[in-house]
Amino acid sequence: MTGIAAHGAYVPITRLPLSLAAGRAAVEGGPERAVGDYDEDAVTMAVTAAIDCLTGIARESVDAVYFASTTYPLREKQGAALIAKALDLRRDVLTQDHAGSLRAGTAALESALHAVAAGALRAVLVVASDCRLGAPRGALEAKLGDGAVALLVTANPVARFEGSCSRADELQDVWRIEGERFTHTWEDRFAIQEGYTPNMIAALRGLLEKSGRCAEDFAKVALYAPDERSAGAILKKLGFKDQQVQDPLFGRLGNTGTPFALMLLAHALETAGPGDRLITAAYGDGAHALAFEVVRPAPPRRGMAWHLARRRAVASYDTYLRARGLDAVEWQSGADLGLSATIRFRERDADIAFLAARCTSCGQVHFPKPRVCAKCFAKDRWEPHRLSDRRGRLLAYTFDYFFPAAEPPTIMVMTEVDGCRVHVQMTNVRPADVALDQPVEYVFRKIHDAGGKPNYFWKASPLAEATHG
């Protein structure tokens, strides 16, 4: 029996009210979409979703990482390897990138399911993440959202894989050319009538026929859709009822691209019970549908519900443009060569995996790792101590108005975690809400783009329950 053993998700805390994008004042309770902050991209969101998924699971048990995205910022460098390092996984994990299509997420998931079923791998972490851009004031700007999802595939699942059906097609309805930042779409009616509707119906109908089941056998359908009307029309034609449709979260999340269908599947898993059957279906140059049966409740995670409730509207449309690098600035962030590859390699355990050092003589934790323990003075007696899944507290802070930021000031903090002090930037917080002794967690974020490429490190984030506002 093969399927999904655990899930995790990430939705950025920042929301762009659609009224702001339309040039009007923000409307309380109005439609909005999730947008990554200036220090977030497809990689950082993927790492956060993966950490959520792996809560309480031994990381050494993971045999492979499959990363699916159409917006991974580097073209000739593997994203899955970077994610594996940030998660402090084994060095012998198999890493794969799946890209080039909005179906990459479901394709990666089915590849993982078959690999585990064949016995080639025992546990595969599938992570899908996207941070797509529509042109400012363009039609897609109001539709696209940012987010990530992580699914752990094993032979001891909570949701057993029951089968799939895929359909390939060739038409230019949604695309982005190499070197361009903005996603494009052809006229909506053509894209829906000639692309989305016939392909999705064919994949879903084929899945029902192959499985020998009918629409009423399924509790929820987590369906990729360009809009709510199109999804409803398809499901009604196939015999599904309104209560079977997993909320597509239009007006709250936005179309997240590659992870969209799988995020909705994760949302369905959060409330599904034993015996419930679920369908997830993605679209992009064809369609891909997969069926699962829940055998036991999914382990609790922050997941979709927690992240959807935790939100903060952008201060202004200009703030959003600055965060996405869509405004004109005097100095470009990639204008210098940045850190040398040698330094990045030497410091990757600390910078990417966020590994501190624990003295094997006295137990004192240090970050970064020194030669000599400051407590017992033992020399070169260290073992790795991962900080990424630990909780700390804020000891001191300062507001830096010199360091360039989309929303000044940059907040620099000294935190204490497991007895050691760590100096980092702080994110997901307004200056007025920073306080001494504030509990924090650590999140993987982009620090800058020096050298014309993303440079990553960890930041402190307030450890808080979901908040509204």
pLDDT, tens digit, 9 for 90 and up, residues 44-76: 999 999 999 999 999 999 999 999 999 999 989
Same domain, 134 and 210: yes
Same domain, 252 and 368: no
Contact 409, 431 (CB under 8 A): yes
**What percent of the chain stands above pLDDT 70?**
97
What is the chain's Cα-based Rg? 22
pTM (2 d.p.): 0.92
pLDDT score at 79: 98
Residue 465 confidence (pLDDT) above 70: no
Same domain, 318 and 353: no
SS3 90: coil
Task: Provide the 8-state DSSP code for 93.
Answer: -
Give the integer Cα–Cα distance in Å for 264 and 252.
13
Give the integer Cα–Cα distance in Å for 103 and 286.
8
Number of structural domains found in the chain: 2
Same domain, 316 and 359: no
Chosen domain end from 323, 354, 375: 323
SS3 248: coil
pLDDT score at 330: 47
Contact 407, 38 (CB under 8 A): yes
Residue 467 confidence (pLDDT) above 60: no
The 10 Å Cβ neighbour count of residue 237 is: 12
Which domain CATH number covers 101? Answer: 3.40.47.10
Express each pLDDT in 310-364 by its tens digit.
Answer: 999 998 888 899 888 887 554 455 556 677 788 888 999 999 999 999 999 999 9
Q: Which of 305, 203, 192, 300 is nearest to 246 (CA)?
A: 305
Identify the domain containing residue 403 by its residue range: 341-462
| Type of residue found at 224 | Y
Q: How many helices (H) and strands (E) does the chain have?
A: 12, 22
Express each pLDDT in 105-127 by its tens digit.
Answer: 999 999 999 999 999 999 999 99
